[in-house]
Amino acid sequence: MKISYSIDIDVTPEKVWYWLGDPERAKVWQTSVSKTETLQETPDIVGTTFRETIEENGRGVEMHGVITGYRENQLLAVHLSGQYNVVDVEWRLDEIEERTRVTVNARVRFKSFIRILSIIMRPVFKKKIIEQLQGEFVRLKEICERDN
């Protein structure tokens, strides 16, 4: 399942990156991420591995990740794998006049019995993911513009 969503924020890419590029600060606006831990950091960032806990409806799911793409103030791409799914996600920052367009592109692949369920429930799953992204991006926009 492919997901794409964008939002324009009235600050520079550097100010958005401040909140996007650091895992601890990202937890402020990514409300589903309750814990993040770097496992192995590489000098050029790509290849850095981490573990994070995603909380939903009072349940935590551990995801293992690796950074697959990185350009400071422009791009962060990660590959995440957990018990129920595998996700490849890319955040891209594009400067447009005096603001920043933040775009997320994600590919979600479900595992085990969830894969079968996702065939029937795909529209529901997609809607829920997009609603979560919208809420997180609104929060990111508020934080970035407030701090401006």
- Specify the higher pLDDT residue, 116 or 39: 39
- Whole-angstrom Cα distance, residue 79 to residue 143? 26
Average pLDDT over residues 38-52: 95
CATH architecture assignment, domain 2-147:
2-Layer Sandwich (3.30)
Whole-number pLDDT of residue 124: 75
- What's the token pair of residue 10? 């009235």
Q: Which pTM does this prediction carry? A: 0.86
The residue-averaged pLDDT of 64-88 equals 95
Domain boundary assignment for the chain: 2-147
